[in-house]
Amino acid sequence: MYSARKISPLPLLPVEILDLSDVESVFHLIQTDNVDWAAFRAPFDLPDDCASVLQLIDTSVSTSDGKHEVAMRLRLGVLIAAVFSTSPDKRNPDLSRIPVSSGYRFFFEPTIYKEEFYRLHGVPLFSLWYSGHVETDNPAVNFIIVETPKGESSDGIPQALAYAGMIHRQRHFESRVQNIIYGLSTDHDQFHFVRLDGQGKWSQLDINYENRQQIIEILAYIHGQAALLFASEERCSQSQTNLNLVRGDEDSGSVSITTWSRFRVEKSWEMNESEEDDNESDIDDESDIDDEPDIDNEPDIDNDFIFGN
Q: pLDDT value at position 31?
A: 98
Residues 6+ apart with CB under 8 A from 30: 24, 200, 201, 202
299 CB neighbour count, 10 Å cutoff: 10
Tell me which H or E stretch contains 128. strand 126-129
* CA 14 – CA 287 distance, rounded (Å): 12
The two most distant CA atoms of the chain are separated, in Å, by 69
Distance CA 98, CA 223 (A): 7
Measured distance CA(222)–CA(180) in Å, rounded: 10
pLDDT score recorded for residue 201: 97
pLDDT at 7: 53
Count CB atoms within 10 A of the CB of residue 294: 8
pLDDT of residue 141: 92
Which stretches in the chain have pLDDT values below 50?
A: 1-6, 234-258, 273-274, 276-282, 284-288, 290-309
pLDDT computed for residue 106 by the predictor: 95
- What whole-number distance in Å separates Cα of residue 164 and Cα of residue 162? 5
Q: What is the pTM of this model?
A: 0.79
Specify the amino acid at residue 128. L
Q: Where are the domains of the chain?
A: 4-235
pLDDT at position 259 is: 61
CB atoms within 10 A of CB 206: 12
Alpha carbons 280 and 292: distance in angstroms, whole number: 6
